Amino acid sequence: MRNFALPLVLVAALSASSLAFAATPSTVEGTIKAIDAKADTITLDNGAIYHLAKTIKIAAFKVGEKVKITFEQNGTMLDASAVIVE
């Protein structure tokens, strides 16, 4: 039984510490370069493509508007949870 206790404790400790590095919201400011209504994405002037949450109405935005986007990075995807026109 002792042979299994140490590995289990180590796995539990590593799992708990990895939760601390879970995706945290970030913000970015920029100008809308392109809008893809079918894909629900906005591309900023920095080239990054943000996938909008279903609750965000993409029709409310126009190319050339300055915006502030709150997003989380999930792998290679940038998932926007809020877009505010500045």
What is the CATH number for 60?
2.40.50.320
Q: What DSSP state is assigned to residue 58?
A: G
Burial environment of residue 77 by CB neighbours within 10 A (0 to 12, 13 to 18, 19 or more): exposed
Q: What pLDDT is attached to residue 20?
A: 47
Tally of domains within the chain? 1
Q: How far apart are CA 63 and CA 43, in angstroms?
A: 9
Whether 37 is covered by a domain: the verdict is yes
Q: What pLDDT is attached to residue 13?
A: 55
Q: What DSSP state is assigned to residue 9?
A: H
Domain, as residue range, for 42: 23-85
Whether 9 is covered by a domain: the verdict is no
Q: Give the pLDDT confidence of 30-83 residue by residue, as tens digits.
A: 999 999 999 999 999 999 999 999 999 999 999 999 999 999 999 999 999 999
Whether 11 is covered by a domain: the verdict is no
Whether 53 is covered by a domain: the verdict is yes
Chain centroid, CA 40 distance in Å: 14
